[in-house]
């Protein structure tokens, strides 16, 4: 198992204490060094299922907490934890004291956040908001790049990509529920296969540099004129395209 045969990679060293402890009766402590430092998704999900069964009121309270909630806590690990989300894309980040990403590993971050139910939250430090805002901006760029890469794999024309980008921007800038529903329908319609006539119309809109509500109005006319509503009946998506948000954050002091 590594002592007598060259099964280790060059530069690797055998941990003899750990190896022999495997066979030592009653000596398994050396194998448990990392268990207190991390918590897996399965364990976290089991904790939530148990909470929902044992204390449904507390479970509902937690489930209905608003986005942006923050707190501080004492921790041997100094820095911050930031949970970002854009639609279905999510990232749980552990940052160091300077705001640099230490890890995105969920088990590691959950281990840093492990707490008892009676732990009292601490105020966040004055630099917390700035650090979280920087993390959100970086996440927004990453989410945007991810969306662009997905679009490039969907055989979209250049005009379609421009139109879809502007629709996402218009969606993020309005809070009107009806307008968001209309934009979602347009986004789904113009993402699919389009006739040459419709593609030509989109090229004209692209050359005209239309954006925001004027573009939404023109696309709505095209949607009706070319019967895109009869070709497909897409479900309006209230959460897509979604602007990046901070679900929650923690200051580790």
Same domain? For 117 and 158 the reply is no
pLDDT at 224 over 60: yes
Same domain? For 49 and 100 the reply is yes
Structural domain includes residue 236: no
| Domain containing residue 220 | 148-231
Strand order in the sheet with 69-73: 69-73, 245-252, 79-86, 89-95, 101-103
Q: How confident is the model at residue 152 (pLDDT cuts 50, 70, 90)?
A: low
pLDDT at 1 over 50: no
pLDDT at 37 over 50: no
Higher pLDDT, 9 or 113: 113
Looking at residues 52-77, what average pLDDT do you find? 94
Q: How confident is the model at residue 232 (pLDDT cuts 50, 70, 90)?
A: low
Looking at residues 130-156, what average pLDDT do you find? 83
Same domain? For 29 and 112 the reply is no
Number of domains the chain is built from: 3
Looking at residues 49-68, what average pLDDT do you find? 93
- Whole-model pTM: value is 0.54
Same domain? For 162 and 222 the reply is yes
Same domain? For 91 and 53 the reply is yes
Same domain? For 75 and 57 the reply is yes
pLDDT at 8 over 70: no
Q: How confident is the model at residue 241 (pLDDT cuts 50, 70, 90)?
A: low
Q: How confident is the model at residue 88 (pLDDT cuts 50, 70, 90)?
A: confident
Same domain? For 188 and 200 the reply is yes
Query: Using CB atoms within 10 A of its CB, is residue 203 exposed (0-12), middle (13-18) or buried (19+)?
Result: middle
Structural domain includes residue 19: yes
Same domain? For 166 and 204 the reply is yes
Looking at residues 151-179, what average pLDDT do you find? 86
| pLDDT value of residue 14 | 53
| pLDDT value of residue 149 | 73
Structural domain includes residue 155: yes
């Amino acid at each position: 198992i590594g002592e007598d045969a060259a099964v280790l990679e060059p530069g690797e060293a055998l941990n003899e204490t750990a190896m022999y402890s495997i066979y030592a009766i009653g000596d398994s402590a050396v194998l448990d060094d990392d268990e207190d430092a991390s918590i897996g998704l399965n364990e976290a999900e089991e904790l939530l299922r148990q909470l929902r069964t044992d204390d449904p009121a507390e479970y509902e309270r937690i489930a209905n907490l608003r986005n942006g909630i923050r707190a501080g806590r004492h921790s041997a690990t100094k820095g911050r934890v930031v949970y970002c989300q854009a639609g279905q894309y999510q990232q749980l980040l552990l940052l160091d004291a300077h705001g640099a990403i230490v890890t995105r590993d969920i088990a590691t971050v959950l281990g840093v956040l492990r707490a008892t139910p009676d732990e009292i939250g601490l105020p966040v430090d004055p630099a917390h908001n700035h650090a979280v805002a920087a993390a959100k901006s970086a996440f927004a760029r990453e989410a945007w790049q991810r969306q662009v890469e997905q679009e490039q794999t969907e055989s979209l024309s250049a005009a379609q990509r421009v139109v879809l980008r502007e629709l996402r921007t218009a969606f993020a800038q309005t809070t009107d529920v009806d307008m968001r529903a209309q934009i979602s329908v347009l986004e789904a319609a113009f993402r699919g296969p389009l006739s040459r006539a419709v593609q030509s119309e989109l090229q004209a809109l692209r050359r005209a540099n239309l954006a925001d509500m004027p573009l939404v109005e023109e696309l709505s006319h095209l949607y009706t004129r070319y019967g895109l509503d009869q070709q497909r009946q897409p479900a309006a998506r209230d959460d897509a395209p979604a602007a990046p948000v901070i679900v929650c954050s923690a200051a580790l002091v």
